[in-house]
Amino acid sequence: MEAEIDETDRRLLRLLQRDGRLTNSELSEAVALSPSACHRRVQRLEAAGVISGYVALLEARAAGRMTTVFVEIGLSAQSDDVLDAFERAVRTIPDVLECHLMAGSADYLLKVAARDAEDFARIHRQKLARLPGVARMQSSFSLKTVMQTTALPL
C-alpha cells in the first residue's frame, strides 16, 4: 500500500535523500514548518515505511573497492526451492552489493565490489561459483561510473 505523500513530504524526502544528517531544525526551516510538525511528518514517513533507514554512503575507491563487476547468473532450474536456496546463499556474500531477480536471459543480476581483477577472481572462484543452482555466469567489468545516485525521483 502506497503512503499518501503531499508536496511538503516530497520536499522533506528530497532533502533527506541528499543529506540524511540534516537536523530537524534545519529540515523544518527548509520546508517552512514548525519543528514539531516537521518531526511528526518524518516520523509518519518512517512508520509508513517510506523512509526505511539512514546510512552513511561510502566512496568505494576510498574503501579499497576499485572494481565494480556486474554478474549475470543463470540457474539450473526455476523451482521455488532452487530460487530460495540461491537467494539465501547470495545474502551471505559481503562483496555482493545488490542482487536482482531478472526477467530476460539472466535469472539474477549481481553487483559485486572487488579490490581488483584478482580479488574478483577469488570472489568468483570461492563464492559465486559455489552458489546453489548456478548453471552459468557472465561477468562484465565496469570501466567507469558515469552516474550513480541513491535518490529516488519524487
Mean pLDDT, contiguous 10-residue spans, the chain (154 residues): 87 97 97 97 97 95 97 97 98 98 97 98 98 98 95 94
Domain of 23, CATH number, reads: 1.10.10.10
Identify the pLDDT of residue 62.
Answer: 96
**Count of domains observed in the chain:** 2
* No. of helices (H) and no. of strands (E), the chain: 5, 4
Asked if 36 and 99 sit in the same domain, the reply is: no
Q: Residue 91 domain-assigned?
A: yes
Identify the pLDDT of residue 32.
Answer: 97
Asked if 72 and 110 sit in the same domain, the reply is: yes
Q: Residue 105 domain-assigned?
A: yes
Identify the pLDDT of residue 43.
Answer: 97
Asked if 87 and 35 sit in the same domain, the reply is: no
Q: Residue 71 domain-assigned?
A: yes
Asked if 71 and 137 sit in the same domain, the reply is: yes
Asked if 71 and 131 sit in the same domain, the reply is: yes
Identify the pLDDT of residue 1.
Answer: 52
Residue 23, CB-side half-sphere exposure with 13 Å CA sphere:
5
Long-range contacts of 142-151 (CB under 8 A, 24+ apart): 142/67, 142/68, 142/69, 142/70, 145/68, 150/17, 150/57, 151/14, 151/17, 151/18
Identify the pLDDT of residue 134.
Answer: 97
Asked if 26 and 89 sit in the same domain, the reply is: no
Where in the sequence is the domain holding 35, given as residue range(s)? 7-47
Q: Residue 55 domain-assigned?
A: no
Domain of 76, CATH number, reads: 3.30.70.920
Identify the pLDDT of residue 154.
Answer: 93
